[in-house]
Amino acid sequence: MLSRSLFSKVSIIALTPFLGVINVAPFNIVPFSTAQAQSTNLTLEKLSIQAGIYKIIVPKVEFSGTNLTKKELLAILDGKSKEPAKQSLAKLNFAEAVIPELILETRIANRADRQIYKNVKLSNVVAGKIALISADGASFDSKTTVKSEKKGAGSFKGTYDAMSIDNLDLVTIAQVFNEKSLDDNAPMQTIYTGYTLAGLRFDMTTPDGQILMSAGKMSAGAFTARAGKYGFMEFAELMRDNPDIDDMDQEDKVKFYSSLLQIFSNFDIGPWQMDKLAINIDFKDKKSLEKKNIDFKIASLKFGQPDLNFHMDGLDISVPEKKISVKLASYDVKGYSLKPTLDAAKAFVAAGKFEPEDIAAIDYREFIPILGGSELNKLELQAPDIKGDYGSDIKMGIGQIKTSLSNQIRGIPTALSYKISNLTIDTPVSSPNEGIQFMRDNGIEKLDFSAAIEAKWVEERKEFAISDISISAEKLGSLKLSGAIGNMPKELFSGTIGSAQLLALALTAKAAELKIENKGLLELALKGAAKDKNKTPEDLKKDLITIIKQELEKHFGNNEKSMAVMTGIETFLNNGKSLTISVKPKADPERSLDGIGAMDIFLAKEPKDILDKLDVDVKTE
């Protein structure tokens, strides 16, 4: 599975517009015939260029404004030259080159790719640097050459609209793709400063169905790169010659995984964006043989490096036959970075140990990326009522979800924030479900929930402060819990896993507060339960108070603290608006721990022994 996935990614890379123009050296170029003129205007015909796994066919190219002769031009592109490619390419100087048709053929493992570019122009080329490359468009065709007994062969074809690249540096490309460097921190070099594509369409057929895709304008900022320990072309050839990674020897595995990691750490494309992405998937379910059609649309996508900033607008997914739809106004991801993950992966691969015991010994905290935040806005979901017990199509929504993870120590975030607002579920006007009908009869036309978690580790106090764990429901009420966990030193995060486990045993509960607000939930719950038990809400309330009192006395005894709690609960149940119970350990100068620890709980003979060590405060409104 791994090898198939990787070959698919390389195939996508091979389909990138202008890749044939970018990878131009060193080549084995075979001219079949050329024009005789050697002047400022020069024409070459029927060129066949072999560039590693790529074959470039140029039926005709016309140069203008150049002082190069035919022999000099061919010498620059001839891979037989002893001169380094970057020095040879630096001699390229011309005002313009026009290529009516450029064909790029690629063959990797069991895939054969062919791209045809129309009216390619290279303008203002000075010392191997091209000010502008443009093309009117291109078509591409990719096929699986070996048929599987179960699935058969697939195909992939489509077209690109007009495209352009600004300030493409062939000298840098030659250096990055063909040379090697042991310096992982070498500065990145600019390959091009900008890229645009007016649009694209493709059609993919598989034994299970068909996928159609289209997109509007695409653009990208500067593409920067640097040479790595293994050359890019060497990596491509390794994949071509070794279809199955499991069959590689140890040396080739190290080379393969190291090269793969180089793609993530030695290449940056930023900022990138795409408009009007549309995908249609038409397939047949293997089990039911039922045909399904899925429409997938995104208004715009934006992606930035190196901090993995991502923004999406206007997601719309629908399965018309199933009456399923998903709509999302926007989604953002900010502040993430894979650098720690890549550094840890490089160190592991460089060691060349891939046995199960080596993998088991990994400290996975080293592989955790730098975490950031995300924000989701206005999600709408609709699905059919399959069982028929809901009353209509099921409709749900989320107003907003915001997440933030920060202040990491050895990969573990010590500050977190999570908020979900307006998680809604519609209640149908007419439903066979008694619970839903009961809510409708009592004025609940839509369930509306919100929740939050807010917590942060405070180093100077060795404390994990939980400022908010809450859930609330519109027209019903809310519940909020806050508190603090003590005796939490930095070594709990930064030490070994074994020492962290021991330190966790010494954690203490320093404080806790529970606050409940009633905005109708209590009355609704009593009314519903009383109906089921054939009682009045008042009678059920009295029974509930009696049961709670008995349980408190059973576990905590008949003392001042338990009575205070009972009085507060009884007041709240009798039409109270809110109930707050605060608990914290009594001050004790003889105790070394700040708070109630695991040993206190272990040594307690019964729950009231713990209660004796606590101060309890109860408030009601």
Provide the residue ranges of all domains of the chain, joining segments of one domain with +: 2-270, 371-506, 535-621
Give pLDDT tens digits for 499-558: 888 888 888 889 999 999 999 999 888 888 888 888 898 998 999 999 999 998 888 888
pLDDT in tens, 485-514: 999 999 988 888 888 888 888 888 899 999
Q: Which residue has the higher pLDDT, 31 or 476?
A: 476
Does position 20 have pLDDT exceeding 90, yes or no?
no
The percent of residues above 70 in pLDDT, for the chain, comes to 87
pLDDT of residue 606: 82
Query: Is the pLDDT confidence value at 333 over 90?
Result: yes
Check residue 227 and give its pLDDT.
85
Band of residue 155 on the pLDDT scale cut at 50, 70, 90: confident
Query: C-alpha dihedral over 380, 386, 390, 395, to 10 degrees?
Result: 0
Q: Look at residue 12 in the predicted model and tell me its pLDDT.
A: 32
Are residues 126 and 93 in contact, defined by beta-carbon separation less than 8 angstroms?
A: yes
Give tens-digit pLDDT for 312-330: 999 999 998 888 999 999 9
48-57, 363-372, 453-462, 473-482: lowest mean pLDDT where?
48-57
Among all chains, which residue has been given the structure tokens 């609330």? 472
* C-alpha–C-alpha distance, residues 42 and 34, integer Å: 9
Question: Does pTM surpass 0.75?
Answer: yes
Structure tokens at 27: 């080549």
Tens-digit pLDDT profile for residues 433-444: 878 888 888 888
> Does the pLDDT of residue 481 top 60, yes or no?
yes
pLDDT at 33 over 60: no
Per-residue pLDDT band for 342 (boundaries 50, 70, 90) equals confident
Task: Supply the pLDDT for residue 10.
Answer: 29
- pLDDT above 90 (res 231): no
| Structure confidence at residue 60 (pLDDT) | 92
Give yes or no for residue 278 having a pLDDT over 60. Answer: yes
Q: How far is CA 83 from CA 69, 79, 88, 233, 324, in A?
A: 18, 9, 6, 19, 62
Share of the chain above pLDDT 90, in %: 42
Tens of pLDDT, residues 168-206: 999 998 888 878 887 878 899 999 999 999 999 999 887
User: pLDDT tier at 377 (50, 70, 90 boundaries)?
Assistant: very high
Q: According to the model, what pLDDT value does residue 11 have?
A: 30
Segment among 31-35, 220-224, 379-383 with least mean pLDDT: 31-35
Is pLDDT above 80 for 307? Answer: no
Which two tokens mark 144? 């699986």
* 89-109 average pLDDT score: 89
What DSSP string runs through 17-52? TTHHHH--SSBEEEEEEE-S--SSEEEEEEEEEEET
Mean pLDDT for the chain overall: 83
Confidence of residue 251 (pLDDT cuts 50, 70, 90): confident
Q: Which of 73-77, 145-149, 352-356 has the lowest mean pLDDT?
A: 145-149
Confidence of residue 253 (pLDDT cuts 50, 70, 90): confident
Q: Is 42:23 a contact under the CB 8 Å cutoff? A: no
Q: Is the pLDDT of residue 7 over 60?
A: no
Whether 121 shows a pLDDT value over 50: the answer reads yes
Integer Cα distance of 42 and 76 in angstroms = 15
Residue 512 Rama label (left phi>0; alpha psi -120 to 50; beta): beta
**pLDDT number for residue 287:** 65
pLDDT of 252 higher than 90 = no
Compute the average pLDDT of residues 376-394: 87
Q: Provide mean pLDDT across the span 209-237.
A: 86
Overall average pLDDT of the 281-286 stretch: 77
Torsions phi, psi of 467, nearest 5?
-80, -25
pLDDT classification of 6: cutoffs 50, 70, 90? very low
In a 13 Å sphere around the CA of 391, the CA atoms on its Cβ side amount to 14
pLDDT tens digits for 124-152?
Answer: 999 999 999 999 999 999 876 555 444 55
Cα–Cα distance between 313 and 330 in angstroms, integer?
4
Whether 453 and 469 have beta carbons less than 8 Å apart is answered as yes
